[in-house]
Amino acid sequence: MKINANKSATFSNKAKFRVPFGTVSITDDARELIDRALKTKWVTRGKYVQEFEEKFARLFGVKEAVAVSSGTDADALACAVLYDYGARRQDEIIIPALTFVATGNAVLQAGFTPVFVDVSRYTLNMDPKKIEQVITPRTRAIMPVHLMGKPAAMDEIMGIAKKHKLYVIEDAAEAHGAEYKKRKVGSIGHMAAFSLYAAHIITTIEGGIVITDDPRMADILRSLRNHGIEGKFQFKRVGFSAKMNEIEAAIGIGNIRIFGQILSKRRQNLLYLIEKFKPFEDYFITIKEEPHEKIGPHAFSIIVKEDAGFTKDEFVRYMENAGVDSRNLFYSIPTQCENYAFLGKKLGDFPEAEYCSDHGTHIGIHQDIEREDLDYVAQAVADFLKTKR
């Protein structure tokens, strides 16, 4: 399936990698909207941002969407909403140890303390059995991350949140189009934050968006993204400068129009590569799709098993030499990111997250990758394993 858009691989050197990690789709109609915005000279937040918000909300089946300047800001503003609901600075928000560092950064930027929970190497997501162990009187919210677009265990998480009177903010940065028990990921918690960075299914190149069914939360988000302003010039809360502009929104509108095509192509690639990796199950743990879910594919995770007989670095080096680009499977934020040393955590505190980081990588399955590219990836893996037997 070819996506009806002008395509360019922006996250890898195409000359070096036959199978680049990421891509971006910019449609012709988005270019027309950009031209119109430039001609009017109104390029800050305006009618295209509003149109993008309305279309995004409809796409995810919610009442409200508030566009912001990045996925990190989407997380941070969603957290900051909680001050209007009784939270105080340095209160706690629970997040998974394994995620992109922006999740932890956003919690800190909003003035809260991140409290980490270990993950499962088989799902990459927060282990719900470990959440209640870290709840304290200062806990205000749980922020599950749907890593690689695989839904977190939302029934268990929502049940825990209800029991302890906590809010749930879904970090759905990588989970556009994912479904959990026939519900769209992002429509389950009290709010959900999406990244619209260039690597994601819906992109504005840089950008983010928060969705919710609560009109009051949406109004607070609109205030927060513009310095906490209400009305013309009244400042009601400590806010951010996090507005989306018309150029970005135009690209987003174009992406929403081809969202179904992009999602379908990525899901085809995901499911095909899951099948192609079945012969390699003695060596790797890979992302899987369970009957109750649909993954909104961001990338394809590969974790080297303990008794595989080779290291992740050996595998990655071979694949990159074969022209298959990859990225590390993030880090255990509290124990493998130097900027979180102030929390006083030590290696071994989050063994599953640390294992995923030390032994895991992920490769692209985006809309510009074709079936023959995936066959090439599988053959490269097979060839690598032959060198290790």
The whole-angstrom distance between residue 119's C-alpha and the CA centroid of its chain comes to: 16
Residue where a domain terminates, one of 257, 281, 311:
257
Pair 192, 278 in one domain: no
Is residue 123, in this structure, part of any structural domain at all? yes
- Of the candidates 13, 34, 388, 333, the residue with the CA atom closest to the CA atom of residue 204: 34
Q: CA 335, CA 175: separation in Å to the nearest integer?
A: 25
Pair 284, 366 in one domain: yes
Is residue 242, in this structure, part of any structural domain at all? yes
Is residue 211, in this structure, part of any structural domain at all? yes
- In this prediction, residue 42 carries a pLDDT of 66
Q: Is the pLDDT score of 7 beyond 80? A: no
Asked whether the beta carbons of 326 and 320 are under 8 A apart, the reply is: yes
Structure tokens at 355: 């294992």
Q: CA 212, CA 326: separation in Å to the nearest integer?
A: 33
Pair 199, 279 in one domain: no
Asked whether the beta carbons of 106 and 76 are under 8 A apart, the reply is: yes
Pair 250, 356 in one domain: no
Residue where a domain terminates, one of 230, 257, 284:
257
Asked whether the beta carbons of 199 and 173 are under 8 A apart, the reply is: no
Pair 300, 323 in one domain: yes
Q: Does the reported pTM lie above 0.75?
A: yes
For the segment 153-185, what is each residue's pLDDT rounded down to a tens digit?
999 999 999 999 999 999 999 999 999 999 999
CATH of the domain at 368: 3.90.1150.10
Pair 73, 202 in one domain: yes
Is residue 271, in this structure, part of any structural domain at all? yes
Residue where a domain terminates, one of 213, 240, 257:
257
Domain total in the chain? 2
Mean pLDDT value across residues 18-46: 78
Is residue 17, in this structure, part of any structural domain at all? no
Q: Which residues contact 281 (CB under 8 A, 6 or more apart)?
A: none
Pair 149, 271 in one domain: no
CATH of the domain at 58: 3.40.640.10
Confidence of residue 1 (pLDDT cuts 50, 70, 90): very low
Pair 231, 127 in one domain: yes
Which residue carries 């989050």 as its tokens? 350
Is residue 155, in this structure, part of any structural domain at all? yes
Is residue 51, in this structure, part of any structural domain at all? yes
- Of the candidates 133, 149, 142, the residue with the CA atom closest to the CA atom of residue 165: 142
Is residue 171, in this structure, part of any structural domain at all? yes
Pair 265, 319 in one domain: yes
User: In a 3-state reduction of DSSP, which class is residue 314?
Assistant: helix
Pair 247, 295 in one domain: no
DSSP β-bridge partners for residue 294: 179
Q: CA 228, CA 239: separation in Å to the nearest integer?
A: 4
Structural domain harbouring 225:
25-257
Pair 245, 288 in one domain: no
Q: Report helix angle 71-80 to 102-109, nearest 10.
A: 40
Pair 273, 172 in one domain: no
Q: CA 324, CA 380: separation in Å to the nearest integer?
A: 9
Structure tokens at 357: 């980081």
Tell me how many degrees the CA angle 304-309-311 measures, rounded to the nearest 5: 50
How large a percentage of the chain has pLDDT more than 70? 95
Q: CA 324, CA 283: separation in Å to the nearest integer?
A: 18
Confidence of residue 24 (pLDDT cuts 50, 70, 90): confident
For the segment 362-389, what is each residue's pLDDT rounded down to a tens digit?
999 999 999 999 999 999 999 999 999 7
Tell me how many degrees the CA angle 149-197-351 measures, rounded to the nearest 5: 45
For the segment 54-88, what is each residue's pLDDT rounded down to a tens digit?
999 999 999 999 999 999 999 999 999 999 999 99
Structure tokens at 156: 């268990």
Q: CA 339, CA 288: separation in Å to the nearest integer?
A: 32
Q: Which of 41-50, 235-244, 326-335 has the lowest mean pLDDT?
A: 41-50
